C-alpha cells in the first residue's frame, strides 16, 4: 500500500487551525464563566465551540475519517485516518488570561501520528509538520538545537503534581541544568524551535500529544513514552520529548528509578 | 513632610521600561549563551545590558537616588528614594524562548514601594502604577476581579520547589479550585487584571516583588508576607498576593500549617 500523500491533509489541518484561532481569541480574556469538569479540570465555552467547529469541518471534508476530541466522545476511532483534537490545550492558562495555550490538531494514520499543527492564538504563533515534509514555524523550517550533555539540559514540566513526588522525576531534575514549570503544549513547541532540551509529562491523553509527535520528530527531536517506546493511543500517558536520541537515552534510566530508591 | 509628587517618577519609570524593552526583544530567541550563576539561576547578556542601561539613566536623572538591582551591587541603598530593578524577571523562560518574562522597575520611598512598572517585552504588554494614582494596563485602568470563596479561587505559583514539600502550601493548594505553575511576575500581572485570585511564592528577593506591590494594591488587591504583614526589603522572601483582603485572610492560616501537621 503506498504511503498517503500528506500535503493536502497538512493544508487541511492548517485550515482547521485558522478556524480555531479567531474563536479562541474572541473568548480569551473575555470569559464570563469557567466550568470545572468531573476530573477537576476546567472547560470553557471556547473549548466546546472550537471542537464543534472543527468536527463540522472534518465531517464535511472527510466523512470517512474518525475523530477523537477532548470535549466530545470518539467518532469512528477505528478509521484508517483519525483526527485527534485538543481545542484548548492549557485551559487553566487560557482561563486566567495567560497566553501560553494552544489548539492541537493531529492526524493519526493506522495508529501513527503523521500530521500535527500547534496553533497559539494569543501568541500569534503556529507550528506545523507532516511526516517526511519537515516542520515549520511561521514559514521557517523548525530545528531543535544541537545535542548537549544532560547536565546542561533545560527541562520543562507542565505540572509538578506527581512529578515532584516521583523518584525518577526527582533524579532527572537533579541531573539537568534547570527546570521550568508550566507551558503545556507550548513547552514542546519551544523544544522544537531550539529553546529547550527535554519535556516530561505524566497523565497525558492522546489529544495532548498526538499533534506534537510529527512536530518534534520533523524538527529533529524524538518523543516517546517513559520506556522509550513510540507513543500509542492506549498508552499510559507518560510522555518525554528530547531534542536528540542521546538525551532521551540519558534521561530514561533516571526516570526508571523506583519510588523506593 | 508632604508626600512626594509621584507623577514625574511614574513617567520616568515608564521611560526606563521603554529603554529596556528593545534590549530584551533584541536578545529574545536570539541568545548565543546562557550563564549559570553561583545560585544555579541563569543570567544572560540581556539581563546585564538592561540593568546597565537603566542604572545609567537613573544616575543621570536622579543622582541622589539609590539603586538595588539583580545583577550588580547596591548603590546608596539608604537613600530616600531607591529604585529596585529586575532587568529580566523570568530569565529561565526568557532563555528558552518563552514570552512569560518581564522587566520590573520599582521605586521605594523610605521603605515603601510607591511606583511600579511591569513591562512584558515579548507580549507587548505593560502594567504600571503609583500609590494614589491608580494602576493601568495598556492605557486602561486595572482592576482585580470581585472576591470569591477560597474554594473557587485560582492560585498561581511560579515554582513548586519547596512549595509542594511545604505543609501550608499543600493545604492551600487543596483548598483552591486549581493551581497553575510558572509565570513569575506575569502571574501577579494576571491577578491585577482579574485573571487569578492568589499568587504564592517563596524565596523572592526585593527586585522580584517591589514593582508589583503598587500594581496589585492600586488594582484593588493586596500583597503581604506569609504572616500578613507589609513586605519589607529585609524580609524572608515569602510573598502572597490576593485579589481581596478576604482571600488573604482565608489563605494565611492554611499557609501557617506546621510542617509536622
Q: Which of B123, B158, B164 sits opposite A99 (nearest CB)?
A: B123
Tell me the pairing of strands A178-181 and A154-157: parallel
Instruction: Inform me whether the C-beta atom of residue B190 falls under 8 Å from chain A C-beta atoms.
Output: yes
Query: DSSP readout, A52-100?
Result: HHHHHHHHHH-TT-EEEESSS--BSTTSSEEEEEEEEE-HHHHHTT-S-
B79 and B157: one domain?
A: no
B219 and B180: one domain?
A: yes
pLDDT one-digit tens code per residue, B216-226: 999 999 999 99
> What domain count does chain B have?
2
Note whether residue B189 is domain-resident. Answer: yes
Count CB atoms within 10 A of the CB of residue A256. Answer: 14
pLDDT one-digit tens code per residue, B4-44: 899 999 999 999 999 999 999 999 988 767 777 767 677 78
Length reported for chain B:
261
pLDDT in the model for residue A261? 60
Instruction: Inform me whether the C-beta atom of residue B149 falls under 8 Å from chain A C-beta atoms.
Output: no
B21 and B117: one domain?
A: yes
B87 and B192: one domain?
A: no
Instruction: Inform me whether the C-beta atom of residue A92 falls under 8 Å from chain B C-beta atoms.
Output: yes
Contact A92 B123 (CB under 8 A): no
* End position of a domain, from candidates B94, B115, B141: B141
Residues A93, A255, A233, A122: what is their CA dihedral angle, to the nearest 10 degrees? 20
**R_g (Cα) of chain A, nearest Å:** 18
Its ipTM equals: 0.92
* End position of a domain, from candidates B141, B164, B181: B141
Contact A123 B95 (CB under 8 A): no
* End position of a domain, from candidates B107, B141, B175: B141
Note whether residue B261 is domain-resident. Answer: no
Instruction: Inform me whether the C-beta atom of residue A248 falls under 8 Å from chain B C-beta atoms.
Output: no
pLDDT in the model for residue B260? 66
CATH code at position A221: 3.40.190.80
Note whether residue A260 is domain-resident. Answer: no
B62 and B155: one domain?
A: no
Instruction: Inform me whether the C-beta atom of residue B174 falls under 8 Å from chain A C-beta atoms.
Output: no
Phi first, then psi: give them for residue A119, nearest 5 degrees. -110, 130
Note whether residue B1 is domain-resident. Answer: no
Question: Which three-class secondary structure state does DSSP give residue B42?
Answer: strand
Note whether residue B79 is domain-resident. Answer: yes
Residues in chain B within 8 Å Cβ distance of A193:
29, 97
Q: What is the pLDDT along chain A (261 residues), one digit of tens a residue?
A: 678 899 999 999 999 999 999 999 999 988 767 777 767 677 788 899 999 999 999 999 999 999 999 888 899 999 999 999 999 999 999 999 999 999 999 999 999 999 999 999 999 999 999 999 999 999 899 999 999 999 999 999 887 776 677 888 889 989 999 888 889 999 999 999 999 999 999 999 999 999 999 999 999 999 999 999 999 999 999 999 999 999 999 999 999 988 766
B113 and B158: one domain?
A: no
Note whether residue B21 is domain-resident. Answer: yes
Query: DSSP readout, B63-107?
Result: TT-EEEESSS--BSTTSSEEEEEEEEE-HHHHHTT-S--EEEEEE
CA nearest to B127, candidates B200, B69, B186, B181: B186
A177 and A123: one domain?
A: no
CA nearest to A89, candidates A75, A79, A99: A99
CA-to-CA distance for B147 and A142, rounded, in angstroms?
44
Enter the DSSP assignment of A229.
P
Length reported for chain A:
261
Instruction: Inform me whether the C-beta atom of residue B37 falls under 8 Å from chain A C-beta atoms.
Output: no
Of A239-248, B95-104, B167-176, B228-237, where does mean pLDDT reach its minimum?
B167-176
Q: Which of B33, B178, B196, B243 to mutate to test the interface with A (most CBs of A within 10 A)?
A: B178
Helix, strand and coil percent figures for chain A, each rounded to 5: 35, 25, 40
B133 and B14: one domain?
A: yes
Burial of B133 (0-12, 13-18, 19+ CB in 10 A): middle
pLDDT in the model for residue A162? 62
Q: What percent of chain B has pLDDT over 90?
A: 78
CATH code at position B31: 3.30.540.10
Q: What is the domain range of residue B26?
A: 7-141
Q: Which of A96, A123, A194 sits opposite B99 (nearest CB)?
A: A123
Instruction: Inform me whether the C-beta atom of residue A67 falls under 8 Å from chain B C-beta atoms.
Output: no
Amino acid at each position: 500500500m503506498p504511503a498517503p500523500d500528506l500535503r493536502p491533509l497538512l493544508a487541511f489541518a492548517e485550515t482547521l487551525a485558522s478556524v480555531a484561532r479567531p474563536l479562541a481569541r474572541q473568548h480569551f480574556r473575555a470569559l464570563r464563566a469557567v466550568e470545572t469538569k468531573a476530573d477537576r479540570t476546567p472547560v470553557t465555552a471556547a473549548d466546546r465551540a472550537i471542537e464543534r467547529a472543527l468536527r463540522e469541518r472534518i465531517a464535511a471534508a472527510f466523512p470517512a475519517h474518525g475523530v477523537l476530541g477532548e470535549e466530545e466522545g470518539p467518532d469512528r476511532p477505528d478509521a484508517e485516518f483519525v483526527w485527534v483534537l485538543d481545542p484548548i490545550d492549557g485551559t487553566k492558562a487560557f482561563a486566567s488570561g495567560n497566553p501560553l495555550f494552544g489548539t492541537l490538531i493531529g492526524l493519526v494514520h493506522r495508529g501513527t501520528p503523521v500530521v500535527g499543527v500547534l496553533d497559539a492564538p494569543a501568541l500569534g504563533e503556529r507550528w506545523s509538520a507532516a511526516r517526511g515534509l519537515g516542520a515549520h514555524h511561521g514559514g521557517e523550517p523548525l530545528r531543535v538545537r544541537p545535542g548537549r550533555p544532560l547536565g546542561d539540559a533545560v527541562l520543562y514540566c507542565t505540572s509538578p503534581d506527581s512529578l515532584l513526588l516521583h523518584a525518577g522525576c526527582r533524579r532527572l531534575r537533579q541531573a539537568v541544568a534547570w527546570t521550568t514549570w508550566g507551558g503545556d503544549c507550548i513547552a514542546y513547541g519551544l523544544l522544537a524551535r531550539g529553546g529547550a532540551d527535554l519535556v516530561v509529562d505524566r497523565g497525558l491523553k492522546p489529544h495532548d500529544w498526538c499533534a506534537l509527535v510529527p512536530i518534534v520528530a520533523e524538527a529533529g527531536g524524538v518523543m516517546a513514552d517513559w520506556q522509550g517506546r513510540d507513543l500509542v493511543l492506549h498508552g499510559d500517558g507518560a510522555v518525554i520529548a528530547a531534542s536528540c536520541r542521546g538525551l532521551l537515552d540519558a534521561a530514561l534510566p533516571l526516570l526508571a528509578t523506583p519510588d523506593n530508591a
